A = this chain, B = another copy of it.
Amino acid sequence: MPGPAELLVCVKCRRGREIPEDDRRPGQALYDALAARVAPEGLRVTPVECLQNCEAGCTVALRGGDRWTYVFGNLDEVSHPDMVLDGAARYQATTDGLIPWRERPDHFKRNCVARIPPLTPES
């Protein structure tokens, strides 16, 4: 069983919209929707203040252990939470973070913002 992974959710995301100060932002709504579901075993869901992918939000990142870190954008807080958790579970099931292409959610295939390699012993 691969080690734990973390799903980071940008809770400050406005997704390009003007949001009244007292309203709930799309990023917060996405986090709330994810936190309300049962997380896959070995996955922690963490709110983050701004992943700075503001022009293509909502945004999440997946990381943990010796895996590549991935950032995914263009997420919708209503239609995408189940897909995000499914993709996160498939990510957690890997040791290197590389979800096999055929298993990868289509949204992840088309909306990868960036990825970062795992730390090497010299890093």
Contact = CB atoms under 8 A, between A and B. Distances in A.
Contacts of A64: 123
A71 B113 CA distance: 10
B6 A116 contact: no
Contacts of A122: 44
Interface in A71-123: 71, 112-117, 122-123
B6 A123 contact: yes
A61 B6 CA distance: 20
Please tell me how many copies of the chain the complex holds.
2
A8 B70 CA distance: 15
A15 interface: no
A75 to B, nearest CB: 13
A63 interface: yes
Contacts of A123: 6, 44, 63-64
B117 A52 contact: no
A79 to B, nearest CB: 22
